[in-house]
Amino acid sequence: ASGFISSQSATVIGLICGLASYGAIYVLKTKLLLDDALDVSSVHGITGIIGSLATGVSANPKINPAGEASWNLFGVQCLAVLIVMVYTAVV
């Protein structure tokens, strides 16, 4: 998101990711009983997905002319997240 979104958007995305990370840690540890000692999947996985997708809907062409929030950019971000998830699962 750096270089594509405003500082106000970054603050909102950061707050959302912080809450999502905390919620994911709670669910993975208490409900799913996943043993993730450093909470890497919640802190990096969940927030990385949310941050990547949020870039697609909050990119600002005034910050970087190469990026403008659109459904097309959101679709590209979704595809990128999906590719990384598949790659991670396979490799």
1 contacts 54 by C-beta, under 8 angstroms: yes
Q: Which 8-state DSSP code applies to residue 57?
A: H
Q: Identify the residue whose tokens are 């594509």.
A: 4
Which stretches within the chain are classed as H helix?
A: 7-26, 40, 47-58, 71-90
Q: Please provide the average confidence, as pLDDT, over all residues in the chain.
A: 92
pLDDT at 66: 84
pLDDT in tens, the chain (91 residues): 788 999 999 999 999 999 999 999 999 989 999 888 888 988 999 999 999 999 999 999 999 888 888 899 999 999 999 999 999 999 9
- Provide the pLDDT for residue 1: 73
Tell me how far apart the alpha carbons of residues 72 and 61 are, in angstroms, rounded to a whole number. Answer: 14
